[in-house]
Copies of this chain bind each other. A is one copy, B any other.
Amino acid sequence: MTLPSTMNALILKQDGFAPSREGAAIETLEPYLDYGSLPVPKAGPGQVLVRVRMASVNPSDLYFIKGEYGQPRVKGQPAGFEGVGDVVGGQGLYARWLKGKRVAFVGGVTGSGAWAEYIVVPAAMCVVIRQGMRDEDAAGHVVNPVTAWAMFDIVKQSGAKSFVFTAAFSQLGKLMAGLARDNGYAMIAVIRKESQAEHLKELGASHVLLSTDPDFASRLAALCGSEKPRILLDAVASQQSADIFMAMPNRARWIIYGRLATEAPAISEPGQFIFMDKKIEGFWLSQWFRRASMLEKMRTLRAVQNRFISGAWKTEVVATVKLGQAIQALPEALKLGDGKVMIVP
């Protein structure tokens, strides 16, 4: 098969970080991305070239293109962290073994991105996808599912059979709900719309709290008393997040993995760090990948794939957008909410 020399891609228009932070909401992509043509990237040693089948759109992608993520943008490079595709070339033994295989990948190599026809990724960051797993599940195979798995490990190590999860109707929240139920843990899910409650309970959440409920505080206090959760998994970092943390029992840990809110949450009772042994910390999948052993990573990826193949997990896709139409169509697709948006070349 002959590879083309150029490809289409969604290309970053800006460098570095944004001077201020707005959050993941995007009204228009025009300040951030161009649809254009780039040379097909070349795989270096230990890397593979993948023809992209489908790329996922994660909140981290949106933060990144806006310059609000933990790594700087590089103007002229394609956006997009995660997807699924077919290995069409590569350098090295393992890379050659991967050739012809369908793989899920996470990008991040300089010069490459998943919102393109081709991407170069380290062979070690590819996961061979077994038959029976849909492209829709494989495209979002790593970021959300591995995050869910790693976070659930934190919950299991907390010693409590319960945890609190905010913005729980996210893709990640839905994955966590299934993990919680299947392992006998009570997920206390905080949601933003009443209409999300029933589906999230079906997926496995034990308790659902509406963040705008006037009785939110007293309902939460009752659940903290009965379920005694120690872990707050939070993508919002709002004042309500801080208040939930303050309401939780001794040894509670507020684990922030995203920042949907733009406010600066205030800690009303700093004495709780001293006398109640509470902690605030963060979770970043990139760090987890750096720190986890190879065995831990392989086990996690296998477990994740098994859950998708068995049907215990299923990626809910609300829109699939063509690469060439994404500049116009993606902001609208993201407003559909409550499910994943995919990009296909």
Which chain A residues have a beta carbon within 8 Å of chain B's beta carbons? 21, 68-70, 237, 242, 256-259, 264-284, 287
CA–CA, A269 and B268, complex, Å: 17
Copies in the complex: 2
Q: Which of A69, A266, A270, A282 has the most CB of B within 10 A?
A: A270
Q: Which residue of B lies closest to A262 (CB)?
A: B270
A267 engages B270 (CB within 8 Å): no
B274 engages A265 (CB within 8 Å): no
A280 engages B273 (CB within 8 Å): yes
Shortest distance from the beta carbon of A340 to any chain B beta carbon, whole Å: 21
B259 engages A268 (CB within 8 Å): no
With A70-B271, A264-B266 as contacts: A284 and B277 at CB distance below 8 Å: yes
B264 engages A268 (CB within 8 Å): yes
What residues of B have a CB within 8 angstroms of the CB of A259 in the complex?
270-271, 274
B287 engages A273 (CB within 8 Å): no
Shortest distance from the beta carbon of A129 to any chain B beta carbon, whole Å: 28
A277 engages B273 (CB within 8 Å): no
Q: Jot down 20 A-B pairs with beta carbons below 8 A, ordered by A.
A: A68-B271, A70-B275, A256-B274, A264-B267, A264-B268, A265-B267, A265-B270, A266-B267, A267-B267, A267-B280, A272-B282, A274-B282, A275-B282, A275-B284, A276-B282, A277-B284, A278-B282, A279-B279, A279-B281, A279-B282
What residues of B have a CB within 8 angstroms of the CB of A264 in the complex?
266-270
What residues of B have a CB within 8 angstroms of the CB of A284 in the complex?
274-275, 277
CA–CA, A264 and B266, complex, Å: 6
Shortest distance from the beta carbon of A19 to any chain B beta carbon, whole Å: 13
**16 further contact pairs, Cβ within 8 A, besides A256-B274, A265-B267:** A21-B271, A70-B274, A237-B270, A237-B271, A259-B270, A259-B274, A264-B267, A264-B269, A265-B266, A273-B282, A274-B282, A275-B284, A276-B282, A278-B281, A279-B279, A279-B281
